[in-house]
Amino acid sequence: MHTPPLPLTRDLVLIGGGHTHALVLKKWGMNPLPGARLTVINPGPTAPYSGMLPGFVAGHYERSELDIDLIKLARFAGARIILGAVQGIDAETRHINVPGYPPVAFDVASINVGITSGMPDLPGFADHAVPAKPLGSFAARWAAYLAGERPASVAVIGGGVAGAELAMAMAYALRSKGHPAHITLIDNADILTTLVPKAVATIRNTMMDLGVAVIERASIDRICDDGVWLQDGRKIEADFVTGAAGARPYEWIANTGLTLQDGYVQVSEYLQSSDPAIFAAGDCAHLAANPRPKAGVYAVREAPVLFDNLRAALGAGRLRRYVPQKDYLKLISLGRKSALAERLGTAFSGRAMWAWKNHIDQGFMSKFRNLPQMKAPALPKAHAAGLAEAVGHKPMCGGCGAKVGRDALLDALSKLPEPDRSDISPLPGDDAALLTTGGVRQVMTSDHLRSMTPDPVMMARIAAVHSLGDIWAMGAKPQAATATIILPRMSPELQRRTMAEIMTAAGDVMRAAGAEIVGGHSSIGDEMTIGFTLTGLCDKDPITLSGARPGDALILTKPLGSGTLMAAEMAGQADGAWVAAAFDLMIQPQGEASRILANAHAMTDVTGFGLAGHLKGICAASGCGATLNIDAIPLMPGALDLSAQGVRSTIFDDNRRLAPELPDVGPARILFDPQTAGGLLAAVAADQAAGDLKDLKDAGYPAAIIGHLTDIPGLTVQN
């Protein structure tokens, strides 16, 4: 007997992907709370682990070793992830504000966004320097600087532990590269005031040995393009300036209405703010009962308590107290593979301390590597013949990877009688029909997608762009749409929230394309599915599959690879940055591309049947063949790597059978990859192709000329 999934009844939203929330996501994946829908909001697809930053700067770690992949982690936890920077919380309406996104509703929320830098407030800093956080921009600038050949001059602002670690790491890295270097550490007070004298002496000696000059009790006047001016008139020559001081809370927290301490969210021993539905942890929180310094060790140890208390706030269990330790082990990188350990007034240093620090850091990061993969459900012991083959060896893909094979669809459509209405003109091979009403020509099409992300907003944007593809491919102008939406089982309140998100996001896409949503239908099912029926207006004959000519150039407006990437993402194999880039490409509208390609002889959108299948459709309707330049076909980041690892969408084999003459090796495998909200594939006169391609690129499309049509039937590839 089929057991439907339990309804969703409460929304839990984690704001920020800091260390505490990363651990909560891991624990949630291992023990989810039935009925709770989990969302995490973070500016990017990864969250850096700051404890390994000095090691990266010194050259001991690769950049990728510092990142917690939040997209993989969210998939493991069964959570949706929203990539954006929170700008506010409305505690009264229970909404979170993310620019470019409909209001995100919550029943319980938690804040773990860390702290930001006050460095950009220094005169000239924003123009001539780079803060140590966020890590992404700092890492890119430092890597480029380190690759240079000229003598180096670096200034680090901030004489705390973080600034000293950066200065020593930079000095070691530059020395290891053989660069003559001058490093200066600047602070407006005495440096390292939070450490015991023995630790301070060790760090000072290490900096001296590495050639780091220390300037204390000196205020900065301004930063210019070639150095730092102090208020006493001195100039510190530097062509790379960074800052690890001036830590402060994010400004939006001040407008939440929560009780604050020096701008930080004041929390109780239960990590609850003044609003019992909003929690906070890590550096953005102030522990009212037991104030502690801003240190990652507290954020990590808050995680199990926060996990239990979030569940309690959602209705499962009781709140428990967080009791922070009075002191903690400080492990400080000393540039080379040496570290200093300080606790309870005692300090030790050397390579053994580095080994211990590295062990702790790698142990923390290992919690988020090699997460368990999603497996296909086990079959019952007794089952009908053919069930194992039908289920397959992996979960079914979403998006166009879940489409029925082309042969099954065409066979069913071929058995339908010909229309006997004079105002309907079927377009063989196209996914639309031409209607004539009162002398006005319309095209009509319909499409829907099985969810491939738990985020209703992203899924609505993708489904809307995907459904508009047939209208754009025919050179028509989108007119009207009706929506068909299936939601998973959820409470009436969550239905209202989810429908509002979907319709807002889809309405924005449709309106930007020139269409309006005029109605629709909805129902409850096992999983989210979003689709649209659309009409478009034609002011000239529509572009179909049948007008292509031998010699035409083939232009593709979007890279391939979404099917492979989404299949990998479901299995926890795709890097989060690859997935985020794929989503960005999928939601790119093709309206302007359609306008640029208005003189195409034939055009289609590349979707479920892959490039090979859709190109075969053009060739069959136009009576020609095609040669593809496999090296010219643009691919989404990560698609080729994943394909080489054997990652396939569930419809891959069906698509492969559509073009058996093509090789199934190397990059050619991507030709059979089903695309969701894919690009336009246009057959354009050879003498117009270069001009069209330039216009497409100027309009922001990653387009390419990928081959040409021939008078020999079938498809071939060349390198």
Binned at pLDDT 50, 70 and 90, residue 416 comes out as: low
Pair (719, 620) in one structural domain: yes
The residues, ordered by sequence, that sit 6+ positions from 710 with a Cβ below 8 Å of its Cβ are 550, 624, 625, 626, 627
- Rounded Cα distance, 68 and 87, in Å: 23
- Report how far apart, in Å, the C-alpha atoms of 393 and of each of 374, 376, 378 are: 11, 7, 10
Binned at pLDDT 50, 70 and 90, residue 410 comes out as: low
Hey, is 11 helix, strand or coil? strand
Q: Looking at residue 413, what is its pLDDT?
A: 57
Does the pLDDT at position 1 exceed 50?
A: no
The arithmetic mean of pLDDT across residues 421-429, rounded, is 66
Given 246, 273, 305, the domain boundary residue is: 246
Pair (96, 130) in one structural domain: no
Pair (595, 697) in one structural domain: yes
Determine contact, residues 574/642, Cβ cutoff 8 Å.
yes
Pair (688, 579) in one structural domain: yes
Q: Looking at residue 13, what is its pLDDT?
A: 98
Does the pLDDT at position 414 exceed 80?
A: no
Lowest-confidence segment of 110-114, 449-453, 622-626 by average pLDDT: 449-453
The arithmetic mean of pLDDT across residues 656-663, rounded, is 92
Determine contact, residues 502/417, Cβ cutoff 8 Å.
no
Pair (548, 569) in one structural domain: yes
Burial class of 714 by CB neighbour count within 10 A (0 to 12, 13 to 18, 19+): middle
Given 523, 542, 561, the domain boundary residue is: 542
To the query of whether residue 400 is one of the catalytic residues in this protein, the response is: yes
Q: Is residue 334 in a domain? A: no
> Could you read off the pLDDT of 209-219 as tens digits, one per residue?
999 999 999 99
Does the pLDDT at position 378 exceed 80?
A: no
Hey, is 309 helix, strand or coil? helix
Which 3-state string (H, E, C) describes 467-532?
Answer: HHHHHHHCCCEEEEEEEEEEEECECHHHHHHHHHHHHHHHHHHHHHHCCEEEEEEEEEECCCEEEE
Q: Can you state the angle between helices 576-586 and 562-570, rounded to 10 degrees?
A: 140
Pair (93, 138) in one structural domain: no
The arithmetic mean of pLDDT across residues 237-262, rounded, is 92
Q: What ranges in 341-448 are assigned the alpha helix state H?
A: 351-366, 387-391, 406-414
Q: Looking at residue 406, what is its pLDDT?
A: 59
Pair (28, 130) in one structural domain: no
Hey, is 713 helix, strand or coil? coil
> Could you read off the pLDDT of 88-99 as tens digits, one per residue?
999 999 999 999
Beta strand pairing status for 714-718 and 625-629?
Answer: parallel
Does the pLDDT at position 391 exceed 60?
A: yes
Q: What is the pTM of this model?
A: 0.91
Does the pLDDT at position 412 exceed 80?
A: no
Task: Look at the alpha carbons of 269, 275, 278, 280 in this order and tell me if their dihedral is positive or negative.
Answer: negative
Structural tokens at position 640 = 């080729």
Structural tokens at position 493 = 């309140």
> Could you read off the pLDDT of 254-289 as tens digits, one per residue?
999 999 999 999 999 999 999 999 999 999 999 998
Pair (235, 265) in one structural domain: no
- Rounded Cα distance, 283 and 293, in Å: 8
Binned at pLDDT 50, 70 and 90, residue 402 comes out as: low
Respond yes or no on whether the N-terminal peptide bond of residue 134 is cis (omega within 30° of 0).
Answer: yes
Q: Is residue 439 in a domain? A: yes
Does the pLDDT at position 194 exceed 90?
A: no
CATH code for the domain of 440: 3.30.1330.10
Q: Is residue 356 in a domain? A: no
- Rounded Cα distance, 300 and 289, in Å: 19
Q: How many domains does the chain have?
A: 4
Q: Can you state the angle between helices 161-176 and 135-146, rounded to 10 degrees?
A: 30
Q: Is residue 404 in a domain? A: no
Does the pLDDT at position 382 exceed 80?
A: yes
Nearest to 20 by CA among 58, 68, 84: 68
Structural tokens at position 676 = 């969701």
The arithmetic mean of pLDDT across residues 111-125, rounded, is 88
Determine contact, residues 529/603, Cβ cutoff 8 Å.
no
In single-letter form, the type of residue at position 383 comes to H
The arithmetic mean of pLDDT across residues 81-87, rounded, is 96
The arithmetic mean of pLDDT across residues 201-209, rounded, is 95
CATH code for the domain of 215: 3.50.50.60
Q: Is residue 385 in a domain? A: no
Determine contact, residues 43/84, Cβ cutoff 8 Å.
yes
Beta strand pairing status for 264-267 and 260-261?
Answer: antiparallel
Task: Look at the alpha carbons of 136, 137, 141, 142 in this order and tell me if their dihedral is positive or negative.
Answer: negative
Determine contact, residues 445/533, Cβ cutoff 8 Å.
yes
The DSSP string of 311-380 is HHHTTSS--------S---EEEEESEEEEEEEETTEEEEEHHHHHHHHHHHHHHHHTTSSPPPP-PPPPP
Q: Can you state the angle between helices 19-30 and 296-313, rounded to 10 degrees?
A: 50
Q: Looking at residue 583, what is its pLDDT?
A: 97
> Could you read off the pLDDT of 491-548 as tens digits, one per residue?
999 999 999 999 999 999 999 999 999 999 999 998 999 999 999 999 888 999 999 9
- Rounded Cα distance, 677 and 466, in Å: 4
Q: Looking at residue 119, what is its pLDDT?
A: 80
Lowest-confidence segment of 110-124, 312-326, 509-523, 553-567 by average pLDDT: 110-124
> Could you read off the pLDDT of 25-75 as tens digits, one per residue?
999 999 999 999 999 999 999 998 988 999 999 999 998 899 999 999 999
Q: What letter does residue 64 receive in the DSSP assignment?
A: G
Q: Within 13 A of 594's CA, how many CA atoms are on the CB side?
A: 24
Q: Looking at residue 374, what is its pLDDT?
A: 58
Pair (507, 548) in one structural domain: no
Pair (201, 232) in one structural domain: yes
- Rounded Cα distance, 627 and 438, in Å: 42
Lowest-confidence segment of 253-257, 384-388, 475-479, 688-692 by average pLDDT: 384-388
Burial class of 528 by CB neighbour count within 10 A (0 to 12, 13 to 18, 19+): buried
Given 246, 277, 311, the domain boundary residue is: 246
Pair (456, 521) in one structural domain: yes
Q: Is residue 476 in a domain? A: yes
Does the pLDDT at position 449 exceed 80?
A: yes
Beta strand pairing status for 181-186 and 212-215?
Answer: parallel
Does the pLDDT at position 133 exceed 90?
A: no
> Within 10 Å of residue 573's Cβ, how many Cβ atoms?
18
Q: Is residue 5 in a domain? A: no
Q: Is residue 696 in a domain? A: yes
Catalytic site residue from 284, 397, 400, 538: 400
Pair (474, 522) in one structural domain: yes
Structural tokens at position 677 = 């909200």
Q: Can you state the angle between helices 197-210 and 161-176, rounded to 10 degrees?
A: 30
Determine contact, residues 216/187, Cβ cutoff 8 Å.
yes
Binned at pLDDT 50, 70 and 90, residue 415 comes out as: low
In single-letter form, the type of residue at position 58 comes to A
Determine contact, residues 612/661, Cβ cutoff 8 Å.
no
Hey, is 302 helix, strand or coil? helix
What percent of the chain lies above the pLDDT cut of 90?
A: 74
- Rounded Cα distance, 470 and 466, in Å: 8
Full residue range of the structural domain in which residue 502 is found: 431-542
CATH code for the domain of 601: 3.90.650.10
